[in-house]
Chain A
Amino acid sequence: MSDKVARYLLWASAAAVTLVIMAILVFVGKEGLLTFADVNPFTFFFSPDWNPPAGKFGALPFFVGSVTATVIALLLGAPLGLAGAIFMAKIAPGWMRAAMRQASNLFVGIPSVVYGYIGMTVLVPFVRENLGGQGVGVLVAGMILAVMVLPTITTVAEDAIRDVPVMLEEGALGLGATRWQTIWGVLLPAARPRILAGVILAFARAFGETTAVQMVIGNSPRLVSSLTSGTSSLTSQIIMEMGQTPPGSPWNRALFMMAFGLVVNSMLMILLVRWVSNRGVAR
């Protein structure tokens, strides 16, 4: 293969990636935005009334459901993941670190549908018996998502902590700080931008997770009223209803608009990650 041809083909591959993301934005965005030909945007975003056969397209419950489940996931998963990362980076002996690396890989290897199935058969009955309510809902969804984002947080945070210059750490220890004072006062602040970036990535992953959430959230299109009663999320509503809607109908388009909301959210998260990381570099 000549140099020129190779160069052109490689360039085309890179351009193809850009083409794909553009196409996704255009196709999904177009279908979604057409919703507003039939539905008032204000109603779509702020009405809790979702009853498509009756022409009611209030998607608020799904936005709220997605956000609530994701926030619960981070409240549970981020502290544990960060603690795990500190442990791996600075405290665990070699064999334990190796075990945790493997564990992280295995967590990633478990398919999301299997997470959902475990949530459905273990956590939902457990929550129903111990906390009351229907069991399904944002709490179990958040618990499952917390486990699913653990590897993202531990991996990113461990690397961030490890990459803090040794000088800083030795300086603190040399001044007589204990290991914990060094971690808390020196390592974590120095690693903060990247840890934060990891948490944002985890947010994005949890927000877009579909099957695992759909299997445990209850799938009733009502606003979240308690941690343990059925509600729905953007992703689970899409996967539940997409099959029953004819292409081009307002119902179908409203689901696409929800998908577009997911895309816009993930784009914002990327920009946020970039902003957070750059701010860290500048200081």
Chain B
Amino acid sequence: MSRARVFDRLATFLLWAAGLLILAILAAFLVRILGRGLPFITWDFLTSRPRSMGPGGGVGPELFNTFYLTGLSLLFSLPIGVGAGIYMAEYAKPGRFTDVVRLSVEALASVPSIVLGLFGMILFVNWMGWGFTILGGALTLALLNLPTLVRVTEETIRSVPQIYREGSLALGATRWQTTAKAVLPSALPGILTGVTLVAGRAIGETAVLIYTAGVTASRHFPDWDLFAAGETLAVRIWYVKSEGLVPDADAIASGTSALLLIVVLVFNLALALPLHWWQKWRMGR
């Protein structure tokens, strides 16, 4: 066998090893997180209140807050993110303004989440004087969602075939009618994929929330009060492991980690599967 062939075989072998190693790392993480955490997830753990000192606290309010904050943040960021995405794909002409917006989206996407958290703290906690609130946390979290939503919307809308627009415009529809009725429906699956992406990130986010929504949760739950402090599952893990005083911090952190992972996975499947079926159904028609 020539030298080149030997190298080729060797490279193939090493590249396979790299691929398998990546899968093995993931498997190790999953086994560790779920193996350690699942035994702690009981009905009581999911529904009872956390304790600040003694053992045996649950994460009921945190579970609720996680969904509440994520939902609110999407409520705030979706209209603006999708709107800006539509603008960039359908309306923007090459020029100064478009360049600036594009750079802004990239810049916002690269701002570390801790900086967003500090910005939210200045704005909502100090300046507005709200203190640590669910509303402030959700608004700050919305800033984290924004760039991804803009980018995904723009890409998806650009990939809608030009014929759709031409057909609609030729029938006498205005530009907005064309965008809303011919382009957006075809782009919807793509945009929803973007939503799962940002929701997954929002569910697991900590640095944005520690100094905006705070590290405490209401005594009762579900607490819909926008001005209550709103610790989430992810923040709970961070808090019990770095500052908390509970003796069973490891049990709580393990259980909450597994729970958080399951929430993210279920959320992805809950949106991805219907989307997949819907697309198949549309294709089949």
Contact = CB atoms under 8 A, between A and B. Distances in A.
A208 B113 contact: yes
Nearest to B24: A103
- Interface SS majority for chain B: helix
B105 to A, nearest CB: 6
Contacts of A67: none
Interface stretch (B10-18, B49-57, B223-231): B10-18
B270 interface: no
B207 A235 contact: yes
Contacts of A204: 110
A180 B7 contact: yes
B247 interface: no
Interface residues of A, number: 84
Given A88-B19, A214-B242, A10 B250 contact: no
B273 interface: no
A179 B238 contact: no
A164 interface: no
A67 B122 CA distance: 27
A256 B207 CA distance: 15
A180 B13 CA distance: 11
Contacts of A184: 11
Interface stretch (A36-44, A45-53, A220-228, A263-271): A263-271
Given A2-B176, A214-B242, A107 B26 contact: yes
Interface string B132-172: 00000000000100110010000000000000000000000
A104 to B, nearest CB: 8
B238 A14 contact: no
Given A87-B16, A235-B207, A266-B112, A27 B123 contact: yes
Interface in A34-81: 80
- Interface SS majority for chain A: helix
Contact of A111 (B10, B106, B111, B205): B205
Contacts of A180: 4, 7-8, 10-12
B15 A118 contact: no
Contacts of B12: 91, 179-180
A138 interface: no
Contacts of A208: 110-115
B280 to A, nearest CB: 17
Interface of B: 4-5, 7-8, 10-12, 14-16, 18-19, 21-23, 25-26, 29-30, 32-33, 79-84, 86-88, 90-92, 100-101, 103-108, 110-116, 118-119, 121-123, 126, 143, 146-147, 150, 174-177, 179-180, 200, 203-207, 210-211, 234-235, 237-238, 241-242, 250, 253-254, 257, 260-261, 264-265, 268
Given A17-B101, A112-B207, A270-B106, 16 more contacts: A3-B177, A6-B176, A13-B82, A21-B111, A23-B123, A106-B265, A118-B29, A150-B25, A179-B8, A180-B12, A208-B111, A210-B207, A215-B238, A235-B114, A243-B211, A270-B110
29 contacts: A3-B176, A13-B80, A13-B86, A14-B84, A17-B101, A20-B143, A21-B107, A23-B119, A24-B108, A80-B18, A87-B15, A91-B12, A111-B260, A114-B234, A114-B261, A116-B238, A117-B237, A118-B33, A177-B4, A180-B4, A180-B8, A208-B110, A208-B112, A208-B113, A214-B242, A259-B114, A259-B118, A263-B115, A266-B110
